[in-house]
């Protein structure tokens, strides 16, 4: 998912704070600002402003946002109860009362018992919806398979069912209690008014004279519109049947099987997935849409896949320009990461009622309507959401502590696309633009969710920079081979940060524990390097044309890490060209000797920005 307004909002808000702090500082420093000491103070003030500005954002945002985007806080009892079964398959039918902004649904849910004591089943369904009827089939005991169970009339009532704030709790009769490994089917009939929670969990919205219905369930808001086991670690297959007013389209994940005219002024759109999907990646978009499609051919040339587009009729011509690069993007990421994961279904973009954000719903990205401009200015958003099909959708996080495995990877893929289309300089520029000067907290297990702009910046931007730094350490061959291996190993399942780190270490051939500790698990800051240097004739031999460069490198940061251990590229500018060296910096103060065969003019620390850092030049001390 990407929400560019957070990028703009963070920058504008921070800029305002910078200006106010700098003005205050100038008033305080007075005439001293004109002195050398005053100038140094003003530079320090600017650095402080960068950090304090983001910190103020955190405080203000925490105050007014409430819990709109927070991950659901499940009790230990609830977590234990949902762990007692595995969701296998959903079959969801939805109809819509547009005037009343309500829905009616039936969800068939197949689950497998993970214990012999599954007497009570906890299903996520929030209190805004009412479970009107719950029925049960123990398929192992009745000898009925799941597909047949959906069609028969002879369902059985459970002993009871009740609802809490977050759960539908179904207590089985003794005759229906499954053994470990048995499959059980539930039929949940429900209705109510979905809520607009989090980013925009479910909305009825009037746009350009038409009604649009759409969802965005990340992280834990799917149960405001459909019952499920709402945990990203439990992926399942799903069929979705959308009964919509004729003239509207019902769009969802997977492949469209058919659309049926019902004769009552409604049309049913039947969708089916052939790949497992996490509940937060299930989506619907309903409304009047223009439709067209393109074709993507697999890297090996054996398969063709539809690339589909659904857009508001008024934006059709602009969208044809903006979405044109999509098949080329699919090919590039397939060559870079491995074949597109849902090659037997589709990839698509569906415009929806969000303004300037997008969401990587599996096989069908929901694309904010104001992002359609007809000039390709938001190609980076298209690339970001498409990359999620590999990292987020195919390889899905085990839990929300690992959200950077989704968003850091997708943000980094923006830079890769820039490199593909504009060369290495475009890549470096995009990476540099990710750096706001300060990031809040750790990438792994952030204390909050990405609806907070400060955390958003850490997960998306710093997450991308971490991958950039990892590429710098490993080198292109090992880095991209490892990415492909990581994708292939965890495709259609779940991964966490330690899984990713293990694959990268395997391909690097050495430990990366220092790297992951200081950039992902523990570190929250960055090194601040202070360097000074001088040069002299090599071994005192005047006229030899060789010189010894004595570089003093210090880490002077004041944060949670005393020393950052990183390989560092040192560029010595000479009168015959640049000479680059790589040294391993693992000391607070380090003396480095380098030899060049031309007169040194300047030294540049990490010229291409392979380390997230600050740099200041000092005076060489004898």
Which among 256, 279, 302 is the end of a domain?
279
Q: Is residue 380 part of a domain?
A: no
pLDDT tens column, 152-168? 778 899 999 999 999 99
Please tell me whether the peptide bond between 507 and the residue prior to it is cis, using omega within 30 degrees of 0.
Answer: no
State residue 515's pLDDT score. Answer: 98
| Residue 148 in this model has a pLDDT that exceeds 90 | no
Q: Vertex 89, ends 213 and 171: CA angle to 5°?
A: 100
Do 459 and 563 lie in one domain? The reply is no
Which among 521, 546, 565 is the end of a domain?
521
State residue 622's pLDDT score. Answer: 65
Residues in contact with 291: Cβ distance below 8 Å, sequence separation at least 6, in sequence order = 249, 308, 309, 310
State residue 63's pLDDT score. Answer: 35
pLDDT tens column, 263-319? 999 999 999 999 999 999 999 999 999 999 999 999 999 999 999 999 999 999 999
Burial of 503 (0-12, 13-18, 19+ CB in 10 A): buried
Do 537 and 409 lie in one domain? The reply is no
Do 13 and 88 lie in one domain? The reply is no
pLDDT tens column, 513-526? 999 999 999 999 99
| Residue 436 in this model has a pLDDT that exceeds 90 | no
Do 405 and 509 lie in one domain? The reply is yes
pLDDT tens column, 92-117? 999 999 999 999 999 999 999 999 99
State residue 382's pLDDT score. Answer: 98
Do 116 and 134 lie in one domain? The reply is yes
Band (pLDDT 50/70/90 cuts) for residue 5 is low
Do 92 and 188 lie in one domain? The reply is yes
Q: Is residue 26 part of a domain?
A: yes
Between 356 and 259, where is the model more confident?
A: 259
Q: Is residue 353 part of a domain?
A: no
Q: Which structure tokens are listed for 310?
A: 């659904």
Band (pLDDT 50/70/90 cuts) for residue 6 is low
| Residue 336 in this model has a pLDDT that exceeds 80 | yes
Do 151 and 17 lie in one domain? The reply is no
Position of tokens 């929300």? 400
Band (pLDDT 50/70/90 cuts) for residue 28 is very low
Q: Is residue 11 part of a domain?
A: yes
| Residue 554 in this model has a pLDDT that exceeds 60 | yes
How many domains, in total, are found in the chain?
A: 4
State residue 3's pLDDT score. Answer: 80
pLDDT tens column, 307-324? 999 999 999 999 999 999
Given 3-state DSSP classes, what are the helix, strand and coil percentages for the chain, each rounded to the nearest 5?
A: 35, 30, 35
Do 402 and 429 lie in one domain? The reply is yes
DSSP code string of 370-417? GG--SS-TTHHHHHHHHHHTTBTTTEEESSGGGTHHHHHHHHHHHHHH
Model pTM score: 0.90
Do 138 and 263 lie in one domain? The reply is yes
Q: Is residue 228 part of a domain?
A: no
DSSP code string of 542-594? TTSS-EEEEEEEEE---SS-S---EEEEEEEEETTEEEEEEEEE-SSEEEEEE
Do 485 and 603 lie in one domain? The reply is no
Do 502 and 430 lie in one domain? The reply is yes
pLDDT tens column, 166-182? 999 999 999 899 999 99
State residue 147's pLDDT score. Answer: 67
Band (pLDDT 50/70/90 cuts) for residue 146 is low
Q: Is residue 308 part of a domain?
A: no
- CATH code, 432: 1.10.390.10
pLDDT tens column, 191-234? 999 999 999 999 999 999 999 999 999 999 999 999 999 999 99
Q: Please report, rounded to a whole number, the percentage of residues in the chain having pLDDT higher than 90.
A: 80
- CATH code, 534: 2.60.40.1840
Domain of residue 242, residue span: 76-196+236-279
Q: Is residue 105 part of a domain?
A: yes
| Residue 52 in this model has a pLDDT that exceeds 80 | no
Average per-residue pLDDT in the chain?
90
Do 511 and 558 lie in one domain? The reply is no
Q: Is residue 333 part of a domain?
A: no
Distance separating alpha carbons of residues 488 and 390, to the nearest angstrom: 10
State residue 9's pLDDT score. Answer: 52
| Residue 135 in this model has a pLDDT that exceeds 50 | yes
Which among 469, 498, 521 is the end of a domain?
521
State residue 603's pLDDT score. Answer: 96
């Amino acid at each position: 998912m990407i929400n560019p307004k957070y990028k703009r909002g963070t920058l504008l808000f921070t800029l305002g704070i910078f200006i106010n702090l700098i003005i205050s500082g100038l008033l305080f420093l007075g005439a001293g600002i004109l002195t050398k000491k005053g100038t140094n103070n003003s530079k320090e003030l600017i650095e402080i402003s960068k950090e304090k500005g983001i910190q103020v954002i955190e405080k203000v945002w925490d105050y007014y946002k409430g819990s709109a985007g927070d991950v659901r806080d499940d009790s230990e009892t609830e977590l234990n109860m949902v762990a007692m079964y595995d969701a296998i398959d959903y079959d969801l039918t939805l109809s819509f009362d547009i005037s009343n902004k309500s829905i009616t649904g039936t969800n068939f849910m197949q689950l497998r018992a993970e214990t012999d004591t599954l007497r009570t089943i906890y299903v996520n369904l929030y209190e805004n919806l009412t479970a009107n009827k719950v029925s049960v089939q123990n398929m192992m005991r009745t000898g009925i398979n799941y597909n047949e169970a959906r069609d028969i009339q002879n369902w059985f009532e459970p002993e009871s069912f009740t609802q809490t704030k977050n759960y539908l709790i179904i207590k089985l009769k003794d005759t229906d209690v499954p053994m470990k490994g048995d499959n059980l089917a539930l039929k949940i009939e429900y209705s109510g008014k979905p809520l607009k929670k989090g980013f925009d969990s479910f909305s009825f919205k009037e746009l350009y004279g038409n009604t649009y219905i759409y969802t965005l369930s990340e992280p834990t808001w799917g149960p405001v519109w459909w019952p499920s086991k709402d945990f990203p670690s439990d992926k399942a297959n799903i069929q979705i049947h959308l009964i919509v007013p004729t003239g509207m389209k019902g769009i969802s994940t997977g492949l469209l099987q058919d659309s049926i005219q019902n004769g009552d002024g409604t049309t049913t759109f039947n969708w089916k997935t052939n790949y497992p999907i996490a509940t937060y990646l299930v989506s619907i978009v309903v409304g009047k849409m223009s439709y067209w499609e393109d074709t993507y051919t697999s890297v090996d040339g054996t398969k063709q896949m539809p690339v589909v587009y659904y857009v508001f009729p008024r934006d059709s011509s602009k969208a044809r320009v903006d979405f044109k690069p999509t098949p080329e993007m699919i090919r590039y990421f397939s060559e870079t990461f491995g074949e597109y994961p849902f090659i037997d279904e589709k990839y698509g973009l569906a415009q929806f009622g969000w303004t300037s954000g997008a969401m990587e719903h599996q096989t069908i990205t929901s694309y904010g309507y104001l992002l359609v401009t007809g000039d390709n200015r938001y190609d980076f958003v298209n690339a970001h959401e498409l990359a999620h099909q590999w990292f987020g959708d195919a390889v899905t996080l085990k839990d929300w502590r690992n959200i950077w495995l989704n968003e850091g990877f997708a943000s980094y893929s923006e830079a890769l696309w820039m490199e593909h289309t504009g060369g290495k300089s475009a890549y470096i520029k995009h990476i540099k633009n990710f750096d706001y000067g300060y990031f809040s907290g750790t990438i792994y297990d952030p204390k909050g969710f990405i609806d907070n702009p400060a955390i958003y910046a850490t997960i998306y931007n710093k997450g991308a920079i971490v991958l950039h730094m990892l590429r710098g350490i490993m080198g292109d061959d090992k880095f991209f081979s490892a990415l492909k291996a990581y994708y292939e190993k965890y495709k259609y399942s779940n991964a966490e940060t330690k899984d990713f780190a293990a694959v990268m270490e395997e391909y690097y051939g050495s430990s990366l524990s220092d790297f992951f500790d200081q950039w992902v698990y523990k570190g929250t800051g960055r090194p601040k390097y202070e360097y000074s240097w001088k040069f002299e004739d090599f071994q005192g031999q005047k006229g030899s044309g060789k010189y010894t460069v004595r570089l003093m490198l210090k880490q002077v940061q004041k944060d949670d890490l005393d020393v950052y251990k990183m390989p560092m590229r040192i560029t010595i500018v000479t009168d015959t060209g640049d000479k680059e060296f790589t040294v391993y910096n693992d000391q607070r103060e380090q003396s480095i000797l380098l030899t060049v065969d031309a007169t040194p003019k300047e030294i540049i620390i990490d010229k291409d920005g392979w380390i997230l850092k600050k740099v200041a030049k000092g005076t060489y001390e004898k």
